[in-house]
Amino acid sequence: MGKMSVDLAISARRARRVLSEEPIGSSIVDGLIEAMRLSPSCYNNQPWNVIVVRSPDALEAVKANLPRGNSWALSSPLVLAIISKAPDDCQLSDGRDYNLFDCGIAVGEMLLQATSLGIIAHPIAGYDPIATKKVLGVPEEYTLITLVICGHPGSDTSMLSEKQLEQEGQRPARKPVGQNFHEDLWGSGF
């Protein structure tokens, strides 16, 4: 499959849940990694650590820590575990730890790359982080920020709840620009 433009990838990207169990080829995985590797970060610290989970045993161990609401992810052939710790990036004088922002940028760029390659990449917060860190061997001082569930588009919707099935069919509503974008001053609208 050929790549699509950035504009098209932005408009096409969705947090879809219907995945095929078809393996994701190494060249696609390499493309996802490269998109993250080249993303910007504070002083080029690159604070992300990514565990590419794709062996059957590792996938089973990670998926055992998903709640029922994320059972749709059980068919995923690839999970990216995004891990960081604050001291690995800029820690600013007002208390901001920049590692979460920089990891978010890297994941965002990877999501667009996945979309451009025809792959679903869906970050989730719903998992047992302590148990998942343990099965992945993540040191205690690191934060497991998110799991990105990846797969080719599928057709089996049996793992989806009614609400998830409804969400699959349409893009969730977005706030109007004037509600959370401001010009020159908070509350000014845009």
pLDDT of residue 169: 75
Is 186 a member of any domain? no
Range of the domain at 22: 6-169
Is 64 a member of any domain? yes
Is 190 a member of any domain? no
User: What residues in the chain have per-residue pLDDT under 50?
Assistant: none
Structural domains of the chain, count:
1
Task: Say how far apart CA 92 and CA 108 lie, in whole Å.
Answer: 23
pLDDT of residue 188: 87
**Per-residue pLDDT tens digits for 107-163:** 999 999 999 999 999 999 999 999 999 999 999 999 999 999 999 998 888 888 888
Is 162 a member of any domain? yes
Amino acid identity, position 140: E
Is 75 a member of any domain? yes
- Residue linked to tokens 């504009």: 7
Is 178 a member of any domain? no
pLDDT of residue 2: 58
Strand order in the sheet with 120-124: 49-53, 78-84, 143-151, 120-124
Closest CA to 18 of 81, 82, 73, 84: 73
Is 188 a member of any domain? no
> CATH number of the domain that 112 lies in?
3.40.109.10
